[in-house]
Structure 1
Protein backbone atom coordinates (compact mmCIF):
# COMPACT_ATOMS: atom_id res chain seq x y z
CA UNK A 1 0.00 0.00 0.00
CA UNK A 2 1.40 3.36 -1.06
CA UNK A 3 -1.64 5.23 0.26
CA UNK A 4 -4.09 5.00 3.14
CA UNK A 5 -6.85 7.26 4.46
CA UNK A 6 -5.91 9.21 7.58
CA UNK A 7 -8.96 10.36 9.53
CA UNK A 8 -7.60 13.30 11.51
CA UNK A 9 -10.52 13.52 13.93
CA UNK A 10 -10.49 9.83 14.84
CA UNK A 11 -6.71 9.80 15.20
CA UNK A 12 -6.62 12.95 17.34
CA UNK A 13 -9.32 11.62 19.68
CA UNK A 14 -7.61 8.25 20.10
CA UNK A 15 -4.11 9.65 20.63
CA UNK A 16 -4.72 12.90 22.53
CA UNK A 17 -3.27 11.43 25.73
CA UNK A 18 0.00 10.25 24.13
CA UNK A 19 3.32 11.98 24.63
CA UNK A 20 5.09 13.54 21.67
CA UNK A 21 7.34 10.49 21.30
CA UNK A 22 4.48 8.01 21.72
CA UNK A 23 2.48 9.80 19.03
CA UNK A 24 5.44 9.66 16.62
CA UNK A 25 5.95 6.00 17.52
CA UNK A 26 2.32 5.11 16.79
CA UNK A 27 2.48 6.92 13.45
CA UNK A 28 5.62 5.01 12.44
CA UNK A 29 4.14 1.69 13.50
CA UNK A 30 0.97 2.05 11.43
CA UNK A 31 2.95 3.27 8.41
CA UNK A 32 5.14 0.16 8.62
CA UNK A 33 1.97 -1.96 9.03
CA UNK A 34 0.43 -0.54 5.85
CA UNK A 35 3.69 -0.69 3.90
CA UNK A 36 4.13 -4.43 4.58
CA UNK A 37 0.38 -5.22 4.58
CA UNK A 38 0.83 -7.60 7.49
CA UNK A 39 1.01 -7.60 11.32
CA UNK A 40 4.12 -6.32 13.07
CA UNK A 41 6.58 -9.04 14.23
CA UNK A 42 5.91 -10.67 17.60
CA UNK A 43 9.43 -9.84 18.84
CA UNK A 44 9.20 -6.37 20.42
CA UNK A 45 12.93 -5.78 19.99
CA UNK A 46 12.58 -6.42 16.27
CA UNK A 47 9.67 -3.97 16.09
CA UNK A 48 11.80 -1.37 17.87
CA UNK A 49 14.53 -1.87 15.30
CA UNK A 50 12.04 -1.67 12.40
CA UNK A 51 11.04 1.90 13.29
CA UNK A 52 14.55 2.89 14.47
CA UNK A 53 13.66 3.30 18.15
CA UNK A 54 17.06 3.67 19.80
CA UNK A 55 16.85 5.58 23.07
CA UNK A 56 15.36 4.08 26.21
CA UNK A 57 12.42 6.49 26.01
CA UNK A 58 11.74 5.56 22.38
CA UNK A 59 11.91 1.82 23.10
CA UNK A 60 9.55 2.20 26.06
CA UNK A 61 7.18 4.13 23.80
CA UNK A 62 7.07 1.16 21.41
CA UNK A 63 6.10 -1.17 24.26
CA UNK A 64 3.40 1.20 25.55
CA UNK A 65 1.88 1.84 22.12
CA UNK A 66 1.87 -1.86 21.17
CA UNK A 67 0.12 -2.82 24.40
CA UNK A 68 -2.49 -0.07 24.05
CA UNK A 69 -3.31 -0.03 20.34
CA UNK A 70 -2.33 -3.49 19.05
CA UNK A 71 -3.33 -7.08 19.86
CA UNK A 72 -0.71 -9.81 20.06
CA UNK A 73 -1.76 -12.87 18.04
CA UNK A 74 0.03 -15.91 16.67
CA UNK A 75 0.70 -13.89 13.51
CA UNK A 76 2.21 -10.93 15.32
CA UNK A 77 0.95 -7.57 16.62
CA UNK A 78 -2.35 -6.81 14.87
CA UNK A 79 -4.18 -3.49 14.62
CA UNK A 80 -7.89 -3.75 13.81
CA UNK A 81 -8.22 -0.50 11.84
CA UNK A 82 -5.15 -1.35 9.76
CA UNK A 83 -6.47 -4.86 9.04
CA UNK A 84 -9.80 -3.38 7.94
CA UNK A 85 -8.18 -0.83 5.59
CA UNK A 86 -5.81 -3.44 4.10
CA UNK A 87 -8.76 -5.79 3.47
CA UNK A 88 -10.64 -2.96 1.72
CA UNK A 89 -7.57 -2.18 -0.37
CA UNK A 90 -7.15 -5.80 -1.47
CA UNK A 91 -10.84 -6.13 -2.29
CA UNK A 92 -10.59 -3.08 -4.54
CA UNK A 93 -7.51 -4.59 -6.20
CA UNK A 94 -9.35 -7.83 -6.92
CA UNK A 95 -12.39 -6.02 -8.32
CA UNK A 96 -10.23 -3.79 -10.51
CA UNK A 97 -8.30 -6.78 -11.87
CA UNK A 98 -11.47 -8.72 -12.64
CA UNK A 99 -12.98 -5.67 -14.33
CA UNK A 100 -9.86 -5.22 -16.46
CA UNK A 101 -9.85 -8.90 -17.43
CA UNK A 102 -13.52 -8.64 -18.40
CA UNK A 103 -12.83 -5.66 -20.66
CA UNK A 104 -9.91 -7.51 -22.24
CA UNK A 105 -11.89 -10.66 -22.89
CA UNK A 106 -14.67 -8.66 -24.52
CA UNK A 107 -12.27 -6.99 -26.97
CA UNK A 108 -13.09 -7.74 -30.56
CA UNK A 109 -10.97 -9.96 -32.75
CA UNK A 110 -9.99 -6.91 -34.81
CA UNK A 111 -8.36 -5.38 -31.72
CA UNK A 112 -6.46 -8.52 -30.88
CA UNK A 113 -5.16 -9.48 -34.32
CA UNK A 114 -2.74 -7.25 -36.20
CA UNK A 115 -4.15 -8.50 -39.51
CA UNK A 116 -6.40 -11.21 -40.88
CA UNK A 117 -3.68 -13.75 -41.55
CA UNK A 118 -0.97 -13.39 -38.90
CA UNK A 119 -1.54 -14.39 -35.28
CA UNK A 120 -0.17 -11.78 -32.87
CA UNK A 121 0.72 -11.84 -29.20
CA UNK A 122 -0.49 -8.66 -27.44
CA UNK A 123 0.49 -7.40 -24.01
CA UNK A 124 -2.16 -5.66 -21.95
CA UNK A 125 -1.77 -2.30 -20.28
CA UNK A 126 -3.45 -1.10 -17.07
CA UNK A 127 -6.63 -0.21 -18.96
CA UNK A 128 -6.96 -3.70 -20.43
CA UNK A 129 -6.20 -2.49 -23.97
CA UNK A 130 -3.95 -4.51 -26.32
CA UNK A 131 -0.54 -2.97 -26.96
CA UNK A 132 2.93 -3.87 -28.20
CA UNK A 133 1.64 -6.47 -30.67
CA UNK A 134 4.17 -8.44 -32.63
CA UNK A 135 3.83 -11.36 -35.08
CA UNK A 136 4.20 -14.77 -33.55
CA UNK A 137 4.70 -17.87 -35.66
CA UNK A 138 5.52 -20.29 -32.87
CA UNK A 139 2.11 -21.99 -32.97
CA UNK A 140 1.87 -22.42 -36.77
CA UNK A 141 2.62 -26.12 -36.24
CA UNK A 142 -0.01 -27.56 -33.91
CA UNK A 143 0.99 -29.38 -30.74
CA UNK A 144 -0.89 -32.60 -31.14
CA UNK A 145 -0.72 -33.76 -27.53
CA UNK A 146 -3.06 -30.90 -26.58
CA UNK A 147 -5.78 -32.47 -28.72
CA UNK A 148 -5.56 -35.87 -26.98
CA UNK A 149 -6.50 -35.40 -23.34
CA UNK A 150 -5.40 -37.84 -20.68
CA UNK A 151 -8.82 -39.09 -19.63
CA UNK A 152 -7.69 -40.58 -16.36
CA UNK A 153 -5.78 -37.53 -15.13
CA UNK A 154 -8.36 -35.15 -16.49
CA UNK A 155 -11.08 -36.89 -14.54
CA UNK A 156 -9.11 -36.74 -11.31
CA UNK A 157 -8.34 -33.08 -11.80
CA UNK A 158 -12.01 -32.29 -12.41
CA UNK A 159 -12.98 -34.09 -9.20
CA UNK A 160 -10.43 -32.15 -7.12
CA UNK A 161 -11.45 -28.85 -8.67
CA UNK A 162 -15.10 -29.68 -8.01
CA UNK A 163 -14.47 -30.40 -4.33
CA UNK A 164 -12.40 -27.24 -3.98
CA UNK A 165 -15.12 -25.13 -5.60
CA UNK A 166 -17.79 -26.62 -3.33
CA UNK A 167 -15.73 -25.82 -0.24
CA UNK A 168 -15.07 -22.30 -1.51
CA UNK A 169 -18.80 -21.73 -1.99
CA UNK A 170 -19.54 -22.91 1.56
CA UNK A 171 -16.90 -20.54 2.97
CA UNK A 172 -18.29 -17.65 0.92
CA UNK A 173 -21.80 -18.38 2.25
CA UNK A 174 -20.59 -18.30 5.87
CA UNK A 175 -19.06 -14.87 5.39
CA UNK A 176 -22.03 -13.65 3.34
CA UNK A 177 -24.25 -14.21 6.40
CA UNK A 178 -22.14 -11.53 8.13
CA UNK A 179 -22.45 -9.16 5.18
CA UNK A 180 -18.90 -9.88 3.97
CA UNK A 181 -18.58 -10.50 0.23
CA UNK A 182 -15.57 -12.48 -0.99
CA UNK A 183 -14.74 -13.29 -4.63
CA UNK A 184 -14.33 -16.96 -5.45
CA UNK A 185 -10.67 -16.51 -6.41
CA UNK A 186 -9.68 -14.77 -3.15
CA UNK A 187 -6.34 -16.16 -1.97
CA UNK A 188 -7.51 -16.27 1.64
CA UNK A 189 -10.17 -18.83 0.73
CA UNK A 190 -7.51 -21.04 -0.84
CA UNK A 191 -5.45 -20.66 2.33
CA UNK A 192 -8.37 -21.84 4.48
CA UNK A 193 -8.92 -24.81 2.18
CA UNK A 194 -5.21 -25.64 2.36
CA UNK A 195 -5.44 -25.63 6.17
CA UNK A 196 -8.38 -28.06 5.90
CA UNK A 197 -10.50 -25.71 8.01
CA UNK A 198 -13.99 -26.98 8.83
CA UNK A 199 -17.17 -24.92 8.57
CA UNK A 200 -17.57 -25.10 12.35
CA UNK A 201 -14.08 -23.69 12.88
CA UNK A 202 -14.87 -20.78 10.57
CA UNK A 203 -18.18 -20.14 12.31
CA UNK A 204 -16.44 -20.21 15.71
CA UNK A 205 -13.73 -17.84 14.47
CA UNK A 206 -16.35 -15.40 13.16
CA UNK A 207 -18.11 -15.44 16.55
CA UNK A 208 -14.79 -14.88 18.30
CA UNK A 209 -13.97 -11.97 15.97
CA UNK A 210 -17.33 -10.33 16.71
CA UNK A 211 -16.87 -10.85 20.45
CA UNK A 212 -13.38 -9.31 20.28
CA UNK A 213 -14.81 -6.23 18.55
CA UNK A 214 -17.60 -6.02 21.17
CA UNK A 215 -15.18 -6.22 24.12
CA UNK A 216 -13.05 -3.50 22.56
CA UNK A 217 -16.17 -1.36 21.98
CA UNK A 218 -15.03 -1.10 18.37
CA UNK A 219 -17.42 -0.19 15.56
CA UNK A 220 -14.98 -1.55 12.96
CA UNK A 221 -16.65 -4.46 11.14
CA UNK A 222 -14.93 -7.82 11.11
CA UNK A 223 -13.16 -8.81 7.90
CA UNK A 224 -11.73 -11.93 6.28
CA UNK A 225 -8.14 -11.18 7.29
CA UNK A 226 -9.08 -10.82 10.96
CA UNK A 227 -11.05 -14.08 10.94
CA UNK A 228 -8.20 -15.90 9.17
CA UNK A 229 -5.75 -14.71 11.84
CA UNK A 230 -8.06 -16.07 14.55
CA UNK A 231 -8.34 -19.39 12.69
CA UNK A 232 -4.56 -19.72 12.58
CA UNK A 233 -4.35 -18.97 16.28
CA UNK A 234 -7.03 -21.54 17.07
CA UNK A 235 -5.25 -24.16 14.99
CA UNK A 236 -1.87 -23.54 16.63
CA UNK A 237 -3.39 -23.55 20.10
CA UNK A 238 -5.12 -26.85 19.32
CA UNK A 239 -1.83 -28.35 18.13
CA UNK A 240 -0.07 -27.17 21.28
CA UNK A 241 -2.81 -28.72 23.44
CA UNK A 242 -2.44 -32.00 21.56
CA UNK A 243 1.24 -32.02 22.50
CA UNK A 244 0.40 -31.19 26.11
CA UNK A 245 2.84 -28.27 26.11
CA UNK A 246 2.57 -24.96 27.94
CA UNK A 247 5.93 -23.23 27.74
CA UNK A 248 4.77 -19.61 27.67
CA UNK A 249 7.67 -18.44 29.85
CA UNK A 250 10.29 -19.43 27.26
CA UNK A 251 9.58 -16.51 24.90
CA UNK A 252 8.66 -12.84 25.17
CA UNK A 253 5.60 -13.52 23.02
CA UNK A 254 4.45 -16.29 25.35
CA UNK A 255 4.90 -14.01 28.37
CA UNK A 256 2.75 -11.34 26.72
CA UNK A 257 0.04 -13.87 25.86
CA UNK A 258 -0.02 -15.32 29.39
CA UNK A 259 -0.15 -11.83 30.84
CA UNK A 260 -3.17 -10.99 28.68
CA UNK A 261 -4.90 -14.20 29.77
CA UNK A 262 -4.53 -13.06 33.39
CA UNK A 263 -5.48 -9.45 32.64
CA UNK A 264 -1.93 -8.23 33.31
CA UNK A 265 0.27 -5.84 31.32
CA UNK A 266 3.92 -4.84 31.45
CA UNK A 267 4.41 -1.71 33.55
CA UNK A 268 6.29 1.08 31.78
CA UNK A 269 9.90 0.02 31.28
CA UNK A 270 9.45 -3.29 33.10
CA UNK A 271 11.65 -6.02 31.62
CA UNK A 272 10.25 -9.33 30.43
CA UNK A 273 12.05 -11.15 33.25
CA UNK A 274 10.39 -8.90 35.82
CA UNK A 275 7.02 -9.25 34.11
CA UNK A 276 7.43 -13.03 34.03
CA UNK A 277 8.19 -13.04 37.76
CA UNK A 278 5.01 -11.08 38.48
CA UNK A 279 3.00 -13.52 36.35
CA UNK A 280 4.38 -16.53 38.24
CA UNK A 281 3.53 -14.78 41.55
CA UNK A 282 -0.01 -14.13 40.33
CA UNK A 283 -0.42 -17.76 39.22
CA UNK A 284 0.76 -19.01 42.63
CA UNK A 285 -1.63 -16.62 44.38
CA UNK A 286 -4.58 -17.83 42.30
CA UNK A 287 -3.62 -21.44 42.86
CA UNK A 288 -3.49 -20.86 46.64
CA UNK A 289 -6.94 -19.23 46.58
CA UNK A 290 -8.29 -22.11 44.49
CA UNK A 291 -6.85 -24.73 46.87
CA UNK A 292 -8.16 -22.88 49.91
CA UNK A 293 -11.67 -22.87 48.52
Structure 2
Protein backbone atom coordinates (compact mmCIF):
# COMPACT_ATOMS: atom_id res chain seq x y z
CA UNK A 1 0.00 0.00 0.00
CA UNK A 2 1.17 3.51 -0.80
CA UNK A 3 -1.58 5.29 1.13
CA UNK A 4 -3.70 4.88 4.25
CA UNK A 5 -6.08 7.19 6.09
CA UNK A 6 -4.71 8.82 9.20
CA UNK A 7 -7.35 10.29 11.52
CA UNK A 8 -5.41 12.84 13.52
CA UNK A 9 -7.92 13.37 16.36
CA UNK A 10 -8.43 9.64 16.96
CA UNK A 11 -4.69 9.02 16.86
CA UNK A 12 -3.91 11.86 19.28
CA UNK A 13 -6.60 10.64 21.69
CA UNK A 14 -5.19 7.09 21.67
CA UNK A 15 -1.51 8.08 21.95
CA UNK A 16 -1.56 11.19 24.15
CA UNK A 17 0.21 9.31 26.97
CA UNK A 18 3.11 8.10 24.80
CA UNK A 19 6.60 9.53 25.03
CA UNK A 20 8.36 11.08 22.04
CA UNK A 21 10.21 7.86 21.22
CA UNK A 22 7.09 5.73 21.69
CA UNK A 23 5.05 7.96 19.41
CA UNK A 24 7.72 7.74 16.69
CA UNK A 25 7.97 3.96 17.16
CA UNK A 26 4.20 3.59 16.75
CA UNK A 27 4.18 5.75 13.62
CA UNK A 28 7.01 3.80 12.00
CA UNK A 29 5.46 0.44 12.89
CA UNK A 30 2.17 1.51 11.29
CA UNK A 31 3.92 2.66 8.11
CA UNK A 32 5.86 -0.61 7.87
CA UNK A 33 2.65 -2.63 8.46
CA UNK A 34 0.75 -0.92 5.61
CA UNK A 35 3.68 -0.80 3.21
CA UNK A 36 4.46 -4.52 3.58
CA UNK A 37 0.79 -5.50 3.96
CA UNK A 38 1.78 -8.04 6.62
CA UNK A 39 2.12 -8.26 10.44
CA UNK A 40 5.15 -6.91 12.31
CA UNK A 41 7.85 -9.61 12.80
CA UNK A 42 7.32 -11.55 16.03
CA UNK A 43 10.96 -11.10 17.05
CA UNK A 44 11.20 -7.68 18.65
CA UNK A 45 14.86 -7.34 17.65
CA UNK A 46 13.92 -7.92 14.02
CA UNK A 47 11.04 -5.46 14.36
CA UNK A 48 13.48 -2.85 15.68
CA UNK A 49 15.84 -3.50 12.78
CA UNK A 50 13.03 -3.11 10.23
CA UNK A 51 12.04 0.35 11.50
CA UNK A 52 15.65 1.43 12.27
CA UNK A 53 15.32 1.61 16.05
CA UNK A 54 18.98 1.54 17.16
CA UNK A 55 19.30 3.12 20.60
CA UNK A 56 18.17 1.44 23.82
CA UNK A 57 15.46 4.08 24.31
CA UNK A 58 14.13 3.46 20.80
CA UNK A 59 14.15 -0.34 21.23
CA UNK A 60 12.35 -0.04 24.58
CA UNK A 61 9.78 2.22 22.89
CA UNK A 62 9.17 -0.38 20.16
CA UNK A 63 8.64 -3.12 22.74
CA UNK A 64 6.23 -0.95 24.76
CA UNK A 65 4.15 0.00 21.72
CA UNK A 66 3.94 -3.58 20.42
CA UNK A 67 2.70 -4.90 23.73
CA UNK A 68 0.15 -2.08 24.15
CA UNK A 69 -1.31 -1.68 20.63
CA UNK A 70 -0.60 -5.00 18.87
CA UNK A 71 -1.44 -8.65 19.45
CA UNK A 72 1.20 -11.37 19.05
CA UNK A 73 0.16 -14.33 16.92
CA UNK A 74 2.04 -17.15 15.22
CA UNK A 75 2.95 -15.08 12.15
CA UNK A 76 3.76 -11.83 13.97
CA UNK A 77 2.28 -8.80 15.71
CA UNK A 78 -1.24 -8.01 14.45
CA UNK A 79 -3.52 -5.00 14.80
CA UNK A 80 -7.19 -5.36 13.90
CA UNK A 81 -7.50 -1.92 12.32
CA UNK A 82 -4.49 -2.48 10.07
CA UNK A 83 -5.66 -5.97 9.09
CA UNK A 84 -9.13 -4.65 8.14
CA UNK A 85 -7.71 -1.83 6.02
CA UNK A 86 -5.29 -4.18 4.23
CA UNK A 87 -8.02 -6.74 3.58
CA UNK A 88 -10.29 -4.08 2.06
CA UNK A 89 -7.43 -2.80 -0.08
CA UNK A 90 -6.54 -6.25 -1.39
CA UNK A 91 -10.20 -7.03 -2.11
CA UNK A 92 -10.40 -3.94 -4.32
CA UNK A 93 -7.21 -4.74 -6.25
CA UNK A 94 -8.97 -6.44 -9.23
CA UNK A 95 -11.28 -3.45 -9.62
CA UNK A 96 -8.33 -1.06 -9.50
CA UNK A 97 -6.42 -3.12 -12.06
CA UNK A 98 -9.45 -3.16 -14.36
CA UNK A 99 -9.88 0.59 -13.94
CA UNK A 100 -6.20 1.15 -14.65
CA UNK A 101 -6.38 -1.05 -17.76
CA UNK A 102 -9.45 0.83 -18.99
CA UNK A 103 -7.72 4.15 -18.45
CA UNK A 104 -4.62 2.99 -20.29
CA UNK A 105 -6.79 1.71 -23.14
CA UNK A 106 -8.66 5.02 -23.27
CA UNK A 107 -5.41 6.97 -23.39
CA UNK A 108 -4.05 4.68 -26.12
CA UNK A 109 -7.17 5.12 -28.26
CA UNK A 110 -7.04 8.88 -27.61
CA UNK A 111 -3.42 9.06 -28.82
CA UNK A 112 -4.18 6.89 -31.86
CA UNK A 113 -7.15 9.10 -32.78
CA UNK A 114 -5.08 12.29 -32.46
CA UNK A 115 -2.33 10.76 -34.59
CA UNK A 116 -4.86 9.74 -37.26
CA UNK A 117 -6.54 13.17 -37.30
CA UNK A 118 -3.20 15.00 -37.48
CA UNK A 119 -2.20 12.80 -40.43
CA UNK A 120 -5.39 13.77 -42.26
CA UNK A 121 -4.62 17.45 -41.61
CA UNK A 122 -1.05 17.04 -42.84
CA UNK A 123 -2.13 15.15 -45.97
CA UNK A 124 -4.60 17.96 -46.70
CA UNK A 125 -1.86 20.59 -46.38
CA UNK A 126 -3.25 22.06 -43.15
CA UNK A 127 -1.74 22.33 -39.70
CA UNK A 128 -2.93 22.68 -36.10
CA UNK A 129 -1.21 23.41 -32.76
CA UNK A 130 0.15 20.29 -31.05
CA UNK A 131 -1.99 20.99 -27.97
CA UNK A 132 -5.27 21.62 -29.81
CA UNK A 133 -8.34 20.22 -28.06
CA UNK A 134 -9.61 16.95 -29.49
CA UNK A 135 -13.07 18.43 -30.21
CA UNK A 136 -11.51 21.28 -32.21
CA UNK A 137 -9.27 18.81 -34.04
CA UNK A 138 -12.27 16.66 -34.95
CA UNK A 139 -14.11 19.73 -36.24
CA UNK A 140 -11.17 20.69 -38.48
CA UNK A 141 -10.99 17.19 -39.97
CA UNK A 142 -14.76 17.05 -40.45
CA UNK A 143 -14.54 20.32 -42.37
CA UNK A 144 -11.78 18.95 -44.61
CA UNK A 145 -13.68 15.74 -45.28
CA UNK A 146 -16.92 17.64 -45.94
CA UNK A 147 -15.19 19.88 -48.48
CA UNK A 148 -13.56 16.88 -50.12
CA UNK A 149 -16.89 15.06 -50.28
CA UNK A 150 -18.58 18.14 -51.74
CA UNK A 151 -15.81 18.50 -54.32
CA UNK A 152 -16.05 14.91 -55.48
CA UNK A 153 -19.85 14.98 -55.46
CA UNK A 154 -19.64 17.98 -57.78
CA UNK A 155 -17.74 15.83 -60.35
CA UNK A 156 -20.06 13.28 -62.03
CA UNK A 157 -18.76 9.73 -62.29
CA UNK A 158 -19.80 9.61 -65.96
CA UNK A 159 -20.20 12.45 -68.44
CA UNK A 160 -23.45 14.12 -67.44
CA UNK A 161 -24.82 17.30 -68.94
CA UNK A 162 -25.01 19.46 -65.84
CA UNK A 163 -23.42 19.22 -62.40
CA UNK A 164 -25.57 19.48 -59.26
CA UNK A 165 -26.50 23.00 -58.14
CA UNK A 166 -25.06 22.39 -54.69
CA UNK A 167 -22.82 19.70 -53.34
CA UNK A 168 -24.77 17.09 -51.32
CA UNK A 169 -23.91 16.97 -47.63
CA UNK A 170 -22.25 13.57 -47.75
CA UNK A 171 -21.13 12.54 -44.24
CA UNK A 172 -17.39 12.24 -43.78
CA UNK A 173 -16.00 8.87 -42.80
CA UNK A 174 -12.94 7.92 -40.80
CA UNK A 175 -11.40 6.21 -43.82
CA UNK A 176 -11.20 9.33 -45.95
CA UNK A 177 -7.82 11.05 -46.23
CA UNK A 178 -8.42 13.89 -48.68
CA UNK A 179 -5.52 15.84 -50.14
CA UNK A 180 -6.80 19.13 -51.49
CA UNK A 181 -3.34 20.09 -52.71
CA UNK A 182 -3.18 17.24 -55.19
CA UNK A 183 -6.53 17.15 -56.93
CA UNK A 184 -5.03 17.00 -60.42
CA UNK A 185 -3.61 13.45 -60.12
CA UNK A 186 -6.99 12.22 -58.89
CA UNK A 187 -8.70 13.79 -61.87
CA UNK A 188 -6.11 12.25 -64.17
CA UNK A 189 -6.95 8.80 -62.85
CA UNK A 190 -10.62 9.46 -63.44
CA UNK A 191 -9.83 10.74 -66.93
CA UNK A 192 -7.76 7.63 -67.73
CA UNK A 193 -10.54 5.43 -66.40
CA UNK A 194 -13.10 7.26 -68.49
CA UNK A 195 -10.87 6.97 -71.57
CA UNK A 196 -10.62 3.23 -71.07
CA UNK A 197 -14.42 3.06 -71.29
CA UNK A 198 -14.48 4.87 -74.62
CA UNK A 199 -15.19 8.37 -73.30
CA UNK A 200 -13.49 11.35 -74.86
CA UNK A 201 -10.49 12.88 -73.07
CA UNK A 202 -11.55 15.29 -70.33
CA UNK A 203 -14.77 13.40 -69.68
CA UNK A 204 -14.13 13.55 -65.95
CA UNK A 205 -15.67 17.07 -66.02
CA UNK A 206 -18.87 18.07 -67.78
CA UNK A 207 -17.49 19.34 -71.08
CA UNK A 208 -20.89 20.50 -72.27
CA UNK A 209 -21.30 23.29 -69.72
CA UNK A 210 -19.35 26.52 -69.14
CA UNK A 211 -19.09 25.63 -65.43
CA UNK A 212 -17.33 22.35 -66.16
CA UNK A 213 -14.98 23.89 -68.73
CA UNK A 214 -13.99 26.75 -66.45
CA UNK A 215 -13.55 24.43 -63.45
CA UNK A 216 -11.37 22.16 -65.59
CA UNK A 217 -9.16 25.11 -66.57
CA UNK A 218 -8.83 26.36 -63.00
CA UNK A 219 -8.07 22.91 -61.60
CA UNK A 220 -5.35 22.39 -64.19
CA UNK A 221 -3.66 25.52 -62.81
CA UNK A 222 -3.90 24.51 -59.15
CA UNK A 223 -7.19 26.10 -58.07
CA UNK A 224 -9.31 24.11 -55.61
CA UNK A 225 -12.82 24.61 -57.01
CA UNK A 226 -15.89 22.50 -57.69
CA UNK A 227 -18.15 23.14 -60.71
CA UNK A 228 -21.11 22.76 -58.35
CA UNK A 229 -19.99 25.66 -56.13
CA UNK A 230 -22.83 28.24 -56.30
CA UNK A 231 -20.43 31.17 -55.85
CA UNK A 232 -18.19 29.88 -58.66
CA UNK A 233 -21.19 29.36 -60.95
CA UNK A 234 -22.31 32.94 -60.27
CA UNK A 235 -18.94 34.21 -61.48
CA UNK A 236 -19.21 32.16 -64.66
CA UNK A 237 -22.72 33.52 -65.21
CA UNK A 238 -21.33 37.05 -64.82
CA UNK A 239 -18.93 36.50 -67.71
CA UNK A 240 -15.72 35.15 -66.20
CA UNK A 241 -13.39 34.50 -69.15
CA UNK A 242 -10.37 32.25 -69.46
CA UNK A 243 -8.01 35.22 -69.89
CA UNK A 244 -9.42 36.96 -66.84
CA UNK A 245 -9.19 33.78 -64.77
CA UNK A 246 -5.58 33.16 -65.84
CA UNK A 247 -4.62 36.75 -64.99
CA UNK A 248 -6.23 36.33 -61.58
CA UNK A 249 -4.33 33.09 -60.98
CA UNK A 250 -1.05 34.80 -61.87
CA UNK A 251 -1.82 37.54 -59.36
CA UNK A 252 -2.84 35.04 -56.68
CA UNK A 253 0.37 33.07 -57.21
CA UNK A 254 2.34 36.04 -55.85
CA UNK A 255 0.94 35.20 -52.41
CA UNK A 256 0.43 31.45 -52.87
CA UNK A 257 3.30 30.07 -54.98
CA UNK A 258 3.03 26.61 -56.50
CA UNK A 259 2.53 23.85 -55.53
CA UNK A 260 0.26 25.34 -52.87
CA UNK A 261 -3.37 25.08 -53.94
CA UNK A 262 -5.31 28.30 -54.43
CA UNK A 263 -8.71 28.20 -52.72
CA UNK A 264 -11.54 29.43 -54.91
CA UNK A 265 -12.52 32.02 -52.31
CA UNK A 266 -9.01 33.54 -52.48
CA UNK A 267 -9.03 33.62 -56.29
CA UNK A 268 -12.50 35.18 -56.28
CA UNK A 269 -11.24 37.98 -54.03
CA UNK A 270 -8.32 38.57 -56.40
CA UNK A 271 -10.66 38.70 -59.39
CA UNK A 272 -12.98 41.06 -57.54
CA UNK A 273 -10.08 43.43 -56.82
CA UNK A 274 -8.98 43.36 -60.47
CA UNK A 275 -12.50 44.13 -61.67
CA UNK A 276 -12.80 46.99 -59.21
CA UNK A 277 -9.62 48.51 -60.58
CA UNK A 278 -10.81 48.09 -64.15
CA UNK A 279 -14.10 49.75 -63.26
CA UNK A 280 -12.30 52.65 -61.55
CA UNK A 281 -10.05 53.33 -64.55
CA UNK A 282 -12.12 52.45 -67.64
CA UNK A 283 -10.70 52.68 -71.14
CA UNK A 284 -12.26 55.28 -73.40
CA UNK A 285 -15.16 53.94 -75.39
CA UNK A 286 -14.94 50.52 -73.83
CA UNK A 287 -16.71 48.69 -71.05
CA UNK A 288 -14.70 48.01 -67.91
CA UNK A 289 -12.73 44.84 -68.49
CA UNK A 290 -9.76 43.04 -67.09
CA UNK A 291 -6.40 44.83 -67.48
CA UNK A 292 -4.44 44.09 -70.61
CA UNK A 293 -0.99 42.56 -70.44
CA UNK A 294 0.54 45.82 -71.76
CA UNK A 295 -0.89 47.92 -68.90
CA UNK A 296 0.99 48.78 -65.73
CA UNK A 297 -0.38 46.13 -63.37
CA UNK A 298 0.99 47.88 -60.31
CA UNK A 299 -1.59 46.34 -57.97
CA UNK A 300 -0.19 42.80 -58.38
CA UNK A 301 2.68 43.21 -55.92
CA UNK A 302 3.64 45.30 -52.91
CA UNK A 303 6.43 47.16 -54.72
CA UNK A 304 4.01 48.28 -57.42
CA UNK A 305 1.50 49.43 -54.81
CA UNK A 306 4.18 51.52 -53.05
CA UNK A 307 5.29 53.03 -56.37
CA UNK A 308 1.74 53.91 -57.42
CA UNK A 309 1.08 55.44 -54.02
CA UNK A 310 4.13 57.69 -54.34
CA UNK A 311 2.99 58.80 -57.80
CA UNK A 312 -0.28 59.96 -56.23
CA UNK A 313 1.35 61.40 -53.11
CA UNK A 314 -0.07 58.64 -50.92
CA UNK A 315 1.78 56.59 -48.32
CA UNK A 316 0.76 53.61 -46.20
CA UNK A 317 -0.60 54.52 -42.80
CA UNK A 318 0.59 52.91 -39.58
CA UNK A 319 -0.82 49.39 -39.32
CA UNK A 320 -2.46 49.62 -42.76
CA UNK A 321 -2.24 46.44 -44.84
CA UNK A 322 -1.25 46.46 -48.50
CA UNK A 323 -4.78 45.35 -49.40
CA UNK A 324 -6.29 48.39 -47.64
CA UNK A 325 -3.60 50.68 -49.07
CA UNK A 326 -4.34 49.38 -52.56
CA UNK A 327 -8.08 50.03 -52.11
CA UNK A 328 -7.28 53.58 -50.97
CA UNK A 329 -5.17 54.13 -54.11
CA UNK A 330 -8.02 52.90 -56.31
CA UNK A 331 -10.37 55.32 -54.56
CA UNK A 332 -7.91 58.21 -55.11
CA UNK A 333 -7.67 57.34 -58.83
CA UNK A 334 -11.45 57.24 -59.11
CA UNK A 335 -11.80 60.66 -57.46
CA UNK A 336 -9.03 62.13 -59.63
CA UNK A 337 -10.65 60.91 -62.84
CA UNK A 338 -14.08 62.07 -61.70
CA UNK A 339 -12.70 65.55 -60.97
CA UNK A 340 -11.01 65.63 -64.38
CA UNK A 341 -14.26 64.72 -66.13
CA UNK A 342 -16.11 67.49 -64.27
CA UNK A 343 -13.54 70.07 -65.40
CA UNK A 344 -13.82 69.01 -69.04
CA UNK A 345 -17.62 68.93 -68.96
In the superposition, the TM-score normalised over structure 1's length comes to 0.35
- The structure with more radius of gyration: 2
User: What TM-score comes out, normalization by structure 2 length?
Assistant: 0.30
Q: Which one has more relative contact order, counting CA pairs under 8 Å at least 6 apart?
A: 1
